[in-house]
């Protein structure tokens, strides 16, 4: 849940706020460490020390977490204490005295660095021997991290690791349930960390061993696992991506040959038959090819595979890239022209023509795309209109710019470009008001659910606040009022308070349960923030009178 930092107290229960403020005032919050821009880590003291992480962007809390066991609500007292610390100046809080508890501790990294400087070598070796003997997970991490020094490093050793993880996750019948699938993914992630470090150390062989071991073992595991959340499948995706990364790094001939043979043999054996990875393994092979013979090997396997329409487009893209690399631009372009119905190729052809400033050909390609796709794939046809707009902009053809931008704005395309601003820049100022009015009229005539927000956004851009208010009044549900509140609050706070009041009453007529009561209470707080304290108090009294037998509702109201 995203929370504006300057109003965090509106989103946290009164009890938790009080406890968090108490912790803050007692000096239990240690000065935070900024791990990355906008990412803060606090230690909050108490009976135990807990770590609080808060992520902040543009004044909005994007994420927060605490490692305490509290599970009675979304925010614990430790997070609340950290938020009070972050807002102590804005809330004009008296800063707590810095006690021995509240002093900033030396970071864990600094502690480790200091110890490594003073621990004798033999003592460190003794610790590692003991730890690797007692903790198998630490042993695997240790062997993987230093694999480039290990002459016995092999795929077999990593297969054993994956099998051990799968055994630990399986029940007596050998089945891996939904929760255990998450455990598998977590443990496999540790192996990927090792593989990535080996790639960075220019030791791709270990990364290949790890990734291929994961691929084969997890492909089998899918047959006896509940992977409904995609945890195990995500690991297979990551393994394919790791091999792809190794291939793109242009490994030496030995590793390149081994990996290419692996991709082709895995495909031939049907290890991933029926899955998207069946084509994915050929994509890795396509990056590795260097000769015409190798190109033909991959082409033959693509051609013998039964593919969906989407997979066929991807496969054509693989062929094009291989032709470009092995046979040159001429052969690749011939192939591209042969399959111009593939949107991947149409985009490539458009980019090439525009880069060469061959606008006539670019226009021809885009118009052909519209004709080809308008009936069966109208969304794709709109993309070709967007390309026509790009071409018109490059040629500075004002009439066409206005024509295409207007069409795309009204149709509410996915906004690859700012169509409103393009129109504003090209329509004559003296004609603008009349022009935008006709645009609004045409949008409204479509009567689609999305058009209301599109017209509202035009009102916002034009700063037509009175018309925006009238639109909100026509559909004054709570979420709509909240969406446009920030634009209307300055001039129409009273009207917003009235709409919130009516919306809350209607909402409580149709919804029962604590979550709904919390939502209604949040809107009551918004009324108060808009200056409607009197109206909010009056409404609270009415709600109490109307619903005396809803104790949870009465409890939530008491926290306002």
DSSP string, 205-226: HHHHHHHHHHHHHHHHHGGGB-
Give 27 or 506, the one with higher predicted confidence: 506
Question: Is residue 294 domain-shared with residue 149, that is, in the same domain?
Answer: yes
Question: Is residue 362 domain-shared with residue 222, that is, in the same domain?
Answer: no
Enter the DSSP assignment of 176. Answer: B
Q: Which of 296, 326, 350 is the last residue of a domain?
A: 350
What local confidence, expressed as pLDDT, does residue 560 receive? 84
Residue 231 pLDDT > 70, yes or no? yes
Instruction: Determine, yes or no, domain membership for 129.
Output: no
Q: Which of 411, 435, 462 is the last residue of a domain?
A: 462
Question: Is residue 282 domain-shared with residue 171, that is, in the same domain?
Answer: yes
Contact 135, 63 (CB under 8 A): no
Task: Provide the percentage of residues in the chain whose pLDDT is more than 90.
Answer: 56
What is the domain extent for residue 517? Answer: 472-558
Question: Is residue 343 domain-shared with residue 361, that is, in the same domain?
Answer: no
Instruction: Determine, yes or no, domain membership for 264.
Output: yes
CB atoms within 10 A of CB 219: 19
What local confidence, expressed as pLDDT, does residue 225 receive? 93
Query: Rounded to 5 degrees, what are φ and ψ at 44?
Result: -115, 120
Q: Which of 61, 88, 105 is the last residue of a domain?
A: 105
Q: How far apart are CA 279 and CA 21, in angstroms?
A: 56
145: confidence class by pLDDT, cuts 50, 70, 90:
low
Residue 100 pLDDT > 50, yes or no? no
The radius of gyration of the chain from alpha carbons, rounded to an integer in Å, stands at 31
Residue 111 pLDDT > 80, yes or no? no
Instruction: Determine, yes or no, domain membership for 113.
Output: no
Question: Is residue 372 domain-shared with residue 495, that is, in the same domain?
Answer: no
What local confidence, expressed as pLDDT, does residue 413 receive? 60
Question: Is residue 60 domain-shared with residue 163, that is, in the same domain?
Answer: no
What local confidence, expressed as pLDDT, does residue 99 receive? 46
Tally of domains in the chain: 4
Which of 193-202, 427-436, 487-496 is the least confident region? 193-202
72-88 core/surface letters (b: 16 or more CB in 10 A; e: else): eeebbbbbbbbbbbbbe
CB atoms within 10 A of CB 134: 9
Question: Is residue 225 domain-shared with residue 279, that is, in the same domain?
Answer: yes
Does residue 357 come out as left (phi exceeding 0), alpha (psi in the -120 to 50 range) or beta? left
Instruction: Determine, yes or no, domain membership for 398.
Output: yes
pLDDT tens for residues 296-347?
999 999 998 888 888 888 899 999 999 999 999 999 989 998 999 999 999 9
Question: Is residue 90 domain-shared with residue 232, that is, in the same domain?
Answer: no
What local confidence, expressed as pLDDT, does residue 104 receive? 46
Residue 148 pLDDT > 60, yes or no? no
Instruction: Determine, yes or no, domain membership for 127.
Output: no
Query: Rounded to 5 degrees, what are φ and ψ at 418?
Result: -85, 90
Contact 501, 534 (CB under 8 A): no
Question: Is residue 206 domain-shared with residue 332, that is, in the same domain?
Answer: yes
Residue 103 pLDDT > 70, yes or no? no
What local confidence, expressed as pLDDT, does residue 102 receive? 44
Mean pLDDT of 511-533: 92
Instruction: Determine, yes or no, domain membership for 111.
Output: no
Question: Is residue 171 domain-shared with residue 76, that is, in the same domain?
Answer: no
500-536 core/surface letters (b: 16 or more CB in 10 A; e: else): bbebbeebbeeeeeeebbbbbbbbbbbbbbbebeebb
Per-range mean pLDDT, top range of 59-68, 139-148, 319-328? 319-328
Q: How far apart are CA 484 and CA 43, in angstroms?
A: 38
Instruction: Determine, yes or no, domain membership for 117.
Output: no
30: confidence class by pLDDT, cuts 50, 70, 90:
confident
CA dihedral of 386, 388, 390, 396, whole degrees rounded to 10: -140
Take residue 53 and report the two structure tokens written for it: 């992480």
Instruction: Determine, yes or no, domain membership for 123.
Output: no
Question: Is residue 333 domain-shared with residue 270, that is, in the same domain?
Answer: yes
Question: Is residue 146 domain-shared with residue 255, that is, in the same domain?
Answer: yes
87: confidence class by pLDDT, cuts 50, 70, 90:
confident
């Amino acid at each position: 849940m995203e929370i504006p930092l300057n109003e965090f107290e509106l989103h946290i229960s009164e009890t938790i706020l009080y406890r968090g403020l108490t912790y803050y005032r007692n000096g239990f919050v240690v000065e935070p460490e900024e791990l990355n821009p906008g990412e803060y880590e606090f230690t909050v003291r108490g009976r135990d020390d807990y770590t609080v992480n808060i992520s902040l962007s543009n004044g909005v809390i994007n994420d927060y977490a605490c490692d305490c066991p509290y599970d009675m609500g979304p925010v614990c007292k430790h997070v609340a204490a950290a938020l009070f610390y972050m807002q102590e100046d804005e809330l004009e809080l008296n800063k707590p005295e810095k006690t021995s508890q509240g002093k900033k501790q030396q970071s864990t990294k600094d502690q480790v660095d200091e110890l490594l400087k003073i621990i004798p070598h033999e003592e460190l070796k003794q610790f590692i021997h003991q730890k690797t003997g007692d903790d198998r997970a630490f042993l695997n991490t240790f062997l993987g991290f230093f694999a480039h020094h290990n002459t016995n490093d092999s795929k077999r050793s990593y297969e054993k690791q994956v099998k051990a993880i799968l055994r630990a996750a399986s029940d007596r019948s050998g089945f891996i349930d939904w929760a255990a699938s998450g455990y598998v993914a977590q443990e496999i992630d540790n192996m990927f960390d090792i593989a990535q470090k080996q790639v960075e150390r220019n030791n791709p062989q270990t990364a290949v061993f790890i990734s291929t071991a994961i691929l084969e073992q997890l492909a089998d595991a899918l047959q006896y696992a509940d992977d409904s959340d995609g945890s195990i499948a995500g690991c297979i995706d990551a393994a394919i991506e790791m091999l792809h990364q190794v291939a793109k790094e242009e490994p030496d001939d030995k590793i390149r040959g081994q990996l290419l043979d692996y991709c082709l043999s895995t495909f031939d054996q049907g290890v991933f038959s029926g899955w998207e990875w069946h084509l994915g393994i050929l994509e890795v092979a396509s990056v590795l090819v260097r000769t015409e013979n190798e190109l033909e090997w991959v082409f033959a396997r693509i051609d013998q595979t039964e593919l969906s329409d989407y997979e066929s487009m991807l496969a054509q893209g693989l062929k094009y890239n291989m032709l470009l690399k092995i046979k040159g631009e001429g052969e690749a372009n011939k192939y591209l022209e042969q399959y111009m119905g593939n949107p991947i190729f149409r985009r490539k052809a458009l980019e090439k023509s525009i880069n060469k400033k061959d606008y006539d050909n670019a226009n021809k390609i885009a118009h052909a795309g519209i004709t080809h796709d308008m009936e069966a794939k109208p969304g794709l046809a709109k993309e070709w209109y967007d390309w026509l707009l790009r071409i018109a902009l490059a040629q500075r053809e004002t009439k066409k710019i206005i024509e295409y931008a207007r069409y795309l704005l009204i149709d509410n395309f996915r906004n690859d470009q700012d169509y409103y601003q393009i129109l504003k820049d090209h329509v004559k100022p003296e004609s603008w008001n009349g022009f935008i009015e006709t645009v609004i009229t045409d949008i409204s005539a479509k009567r689609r659910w999305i058009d209301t927000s599109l017209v509202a956004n035009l009102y916002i851009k034009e700063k037509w606040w009175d018309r925006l208010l009238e639109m909100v009044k026509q559909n004054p549900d709570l979420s709509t009022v909240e969406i446009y509140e920030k634009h209307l609050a300055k001039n129409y706070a009273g009207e917003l308070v009235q709409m919130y009041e009516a919306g809350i009453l209607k909402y409580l007529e149709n919804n029962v349960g604590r979550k709904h009561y919390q939502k209604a209470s949040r809107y009551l707080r918004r009324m108060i923030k808009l200056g409607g304290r009197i109206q909010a108090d009056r409404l609270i009294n009415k709600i109490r009178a109307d619903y005396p037998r809803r104790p949870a509702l009465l409890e939530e109201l008491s926290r306002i």
